[in-house]
């Protein structure tokens, strides 16, 4: 007879878990026959010993089977989603979902909230007056029919085991495990019922994965999981050493996203967005040019439909911060570095992010990058504009930015592309 202690000991000692044992584990955990302390011990054993490909496939399937699956078959068009591992200034989803929808796909994007220095898509959209991110499955499908895209929170019925395991990982130091990260992301994405999925795996100082090797391993693991569960999956590794675009925060990123949909997006942001859009359309089997959807206004129109369908007013003014402060260049020269992690932490300290899931966030707080690496700056020229509703937050934010920028005598060579590599199954 299977029991939790035997499974903990097996994984602790580096032995593989049988498929039936994994399925038993999730059923027993759902019935509270396995205590949180025991599941925590098993997660720590997995952190050190890993899961092989078969274990991971079964583990992910058990997480999916712990809840419901969305049935998107009635939409009558190809469905494709995108997931980002998170970065600083990463507002790509706000542009990408309506952009790909305008090209003929249905985009059911289930997103999350920010934690720490990485922003959350739902926090950004909820800066829009009236916007609702909590939808029933029926509402999700109806909005997809009406607008072509939806960005919403994963409902409690989708992979509920993941919600419980993530909470345990967060407080037991087991978040940074590639099998556990991959199963967490992919169980929700597979349960949402999409035909295809493109992953944006960030690499660099502002990313969850700091090294190329770890990012590549995570991307390959998730692409394989998608294929094993009949979701056509590909991944792009993209650079996250510098904030993406010029806005970091919630409302400020919505403003920049709208500008991008209207054809006025920063080059770095558009480079990543277009690369992801092209990959999504390829997986969906649609031969469309996303640039044309922006130029024609179709992408912005899809965005407006989505926001209205989710209760928001796309024309309403966004919240504005009560206080601003500038950080200026210390000398003449070329801005050669602007550290994404430090800018993200500063925005968080200004109120744009949260330390715990239950913390509130400010819709108006954030940072505007007035200069980016490659720009010429003069001594005293503002490089960053800090925004907050609480002036007492400035000191902590400025402390986070100590050493965040480097100014040199020579213009830095721009990277050939922020897209480092494509990973396909």
Scored b (16 or more CB within 10 A) or e, 231-260 reads: bbbbbbbbbbbbbbbbbbbbbbbbbbbbbb
Catalytic one of 57, 82, 83, 393: 83
Burial group, residue 30, by CB count within 10 angstroms (0-12, 13-18, 19+): middle
Q: Answer yes or no: 395 catalytic.
A: no
Catalytic one of 169, 189, 387, 393: 169
**308/170 Cα distance (integer angstroms):** 35
Catalytic one of 84, 183, 184, 257: 184
Catalytic one of 57, 117, 124, 188: 188
Catalytic one of 90, 123, 162, 195: 162
**348/344 Cα distance (integer angstroms):** 6
In the block, tokens 């019925």 appear at 157
- Sequence-distant (6+) residues with CB within 8 A of 208 are 85, 86, 118, 181, 202
Q: Answer yes or no: 169 catalytic.
A: yes
Q: Answer yes or no: 390 catalytic.
A: no
Q: Answer yes or no: 83 catalytic.
A: yes
Q: Answer yes or no: 53 catalytic.
A: no
Catalytic positions: 83, 162, 169, 184, 188
């Amino acid at each position: 007879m299977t029991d939790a202690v035997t499974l903990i000991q097996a994984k602790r000692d580096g032995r593989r878990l049988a498929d039936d044992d994994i399925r038993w584990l999730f059923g027993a955990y759902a019935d509270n026959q396995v205590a949180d302390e025991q599941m925590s011990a098993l997660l720590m054993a997995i952190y050190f010993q890993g899961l092989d490909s078969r274990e991971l496939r079964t583990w992910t399937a058990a997480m999916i089977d712990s809840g419901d699956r969305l049935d998107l078959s009635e939409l009558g068009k190809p469905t494709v989603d995108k997931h980002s591992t998170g970065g600083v200034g990463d507002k790509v989803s706000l542009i990408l979902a309506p952009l790909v929808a305008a090209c003929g796909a249905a985009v059911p994007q289930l997103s999350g909230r920010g934690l720490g220095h990485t922003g959350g898509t739902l926090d950004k959209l909820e800066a829009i007056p009236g916007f609702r991110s909590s939808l029933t499955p029926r509402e999700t499908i109806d909005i997809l029919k009406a607008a072509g895209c939806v960005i919403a929170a994963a409902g409690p019925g989708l992979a509920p085991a993941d919600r419980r395991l993530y909470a345990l990982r967060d407080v037991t130091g087991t978040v940074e495990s590639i099998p556990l990260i991959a199963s967490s992301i992919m169980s929700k994405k597979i349960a949402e019922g999409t035909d295809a999925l493109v992953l944006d795996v960030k690499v660099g100082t502002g990313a969850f994965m700091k090294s190329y090797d770890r990012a590549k391993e995570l991307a390959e693991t998730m692409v394989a999981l998608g294929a094993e569960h009949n979701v056509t999956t590909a991944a792009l590794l993209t650079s996250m050493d510098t904030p993406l675009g010029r806005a970091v925060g919630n409302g400020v990123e919505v403003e920049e996203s709208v500008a991008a949909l209207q054809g006025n997006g920063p080059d770095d942001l558009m480079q990543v967005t277009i690369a992801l859009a092209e990959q999504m359309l390829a997986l969906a089997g649609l031969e469309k040019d996303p640039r044309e959807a922006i130029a024609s206004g179709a992408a912005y129109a899809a965005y407006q439909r989505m926001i209205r369908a989710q209760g928001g007013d796309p024309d309403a003014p966004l919240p504005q911060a009560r206080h601003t402060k500038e950080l200026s260049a210390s000398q003449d020269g070329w801005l050669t570095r602007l550290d994404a992690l430090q800018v993200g932490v500063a925005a968080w300290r200004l109120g744009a992010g949260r330390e715990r899931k239950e913390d509130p966030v400010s819709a108006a707080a954030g940072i505007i990058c007035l200069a980016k690496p490659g720009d010429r700056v003069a001594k005293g020229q503002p490089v960053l504009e800090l925004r907050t509703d609480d002036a007492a937050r400035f000191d902590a934010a400025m402390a986070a930015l100590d050493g965040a920028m480097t100014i040199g005598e020579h213009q830095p060579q721009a990277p050939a592309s922020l897209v480092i590599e494509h990973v396909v199954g």
